[in-house]
């Protein structure tokens, strides 16, 4: 179960969010709640949750300040912001600081919350195994010891899928596209895409990103190369895109990851 903290100063809203959905059915468990950012920050430092569902407007410390303070502390908890209609500047700032999503409080529905939780669950699953939680200093175990090397060939028997995996493992630093991989195994793009997902449980792009990020983590741990050079060395020609994918898959930026080591 992924651990969730609910931070909301309005008791009615907090209770409504708790009751609106069956959290366990979505793979989450509510492990804490707070009525302001200061109270929440103390709790987050002691036991970082996987997800913080947080109001933006609160007394003592608002949601944006809590998000920023959490990031400064190096804690990679996911944030989903609860906001009011028209508060676009706060929403923009929250997304800049790495919030995964926002939900409008006045129009919140079971559907909205379920879709958001499904998105967060997928992000968490891609960054670390289910059931693994952050340490007290906010660093996930997988980030402390590095990612567990993937060896999908052990369970893959389909020859074309094995060829694709071997090709990516050898050429991850080069430009790779669905079209080039389809041509390599002499199959149609749609068929290759569906076949790979069926046999591995991952999309082609997710597998390619995962391999590149694992290689990037290895370079961050063992070299002093600048972040932009590492991104290029593993196949990301755009620095911003490299940072975006790295953060999506690990919960932190390359620079922050290096600081944890």
Domain range enclosing 24: 2-142
Alpha carbon distance 200, 69 (integer Å): 38
Q: Which two tokens stand for residue 86?
A: 């028209």
The CATH number linked to 28 is 3.40.50.2300
Q: How many domains does the chain have?
A: 2
For 155, residues 6+ apart whose C-beta sits below 8 A from its C-beta are: none
Instruction: Confirm whether 231 is domain-assigned.
Output: yes
pLDDT of residue 261: 57
132 and 17, same domain (yes or no): yes
178 and 200, same domain (yes or no): yes
The CATH number linked to 251 is 1.10.10.60
Q: Which helix (H) or strand (E) holds 137?
A: none
Instruction: Confirm whether 181 is domain-assigned.
Output: yes
Instruction: Confirm whether 147 is domain-assigned.
Output: no
Which residues are bridge partners to 83 per DSSP? Answer: 104
pLDDT of residue 143: 43
Among the listed residues 12, 16, 53, 11, the one whose alpha carbon sits nearest the alpha carbon of residue 31? 53
Bridge-based pairing of strands 2-7 and 51-55 is parallel
170 and 239, same domain (yes or no): yes
pTM: 0.49
Phi, psi dihedral angles at 65 (to 5 degrees): -65, -40
pLDDT tens track, the chain, 261 positions: 899 999 988 887 788 888 878 888 888 988 899 988 899 999 999 889 999 999 888 888 888 899 888 888 888 889 988 876 555 677 777 777 778 878 777 666 777 788 888 888 888 877 654 344 444 344 444 444 344 444 444 567 888 999 999 999 999 999 998 889 999 999 888 898 888 888 887 788 888 998 999 899 889 888 999 999 999 999 998 899 999 888 887 778 898 888 765
Which of 115, 142, 169 corresponds to the end of one domain?
142
8 and 135, same domain (yes or no): yes
Instruction: Confirm whether 25 is domain-assigned.
Output: yes
Q: Which helix (H) or strand (E) holds 32?
A: strand 28-34
């Amino acid at each position: 179960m992924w651990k969730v903290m609910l931070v909301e100063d309005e008791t009615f809203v907090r209770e409504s969010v708790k009751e609106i959905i069956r959290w366990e059915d979505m793979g989450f468990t509510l492990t804490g709640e707070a009525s302001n950012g200061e109270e929440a920050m103390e709790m987050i430092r002691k036991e970082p949750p996987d997800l913080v569902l947080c109001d933006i407007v609160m007394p003592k410390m608002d949601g944006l300040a809590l998000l920023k303070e959490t990031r400064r502390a190096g804690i990679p908890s996911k944030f989903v912001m609860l906001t009011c209609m028209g508060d676009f500047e706060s929403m923009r700032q929250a997304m800049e600081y790495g919030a995964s999503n926002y939900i409008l409080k006045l129009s919140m529905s079971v559907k909205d919350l379920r879709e958001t939780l499904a998105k967060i669950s997928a992000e968490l699953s891609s960054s670390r195994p289910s059931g693994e939680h952050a340490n007290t200093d906010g660093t996930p175990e997988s980030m402390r010891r590095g990612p567990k090397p993937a060896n999908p060939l052990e369970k893959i028997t389909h020859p074309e899928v094995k060829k694709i995996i071997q090709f990516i493992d050898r050429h991850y630093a080069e430009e790779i596209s669905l079209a080039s991989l389809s041509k390599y195994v002499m199959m149609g793009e749609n068929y290759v895409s569906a076949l790979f997902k069926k046999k591995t449980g991952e999309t082609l792009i997710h597998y390619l990103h995962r391999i590149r990020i694992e290689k990037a983590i290895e370079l961050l741990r063992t070299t002093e190369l600048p972040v932009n050079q590492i991104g290029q060395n593993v196949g990301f020609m755009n620095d911003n895109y490299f940072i975006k994918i790295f953060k999506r898959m690990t919960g932190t930026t390359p620079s922050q990851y290096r600081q944890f080591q």
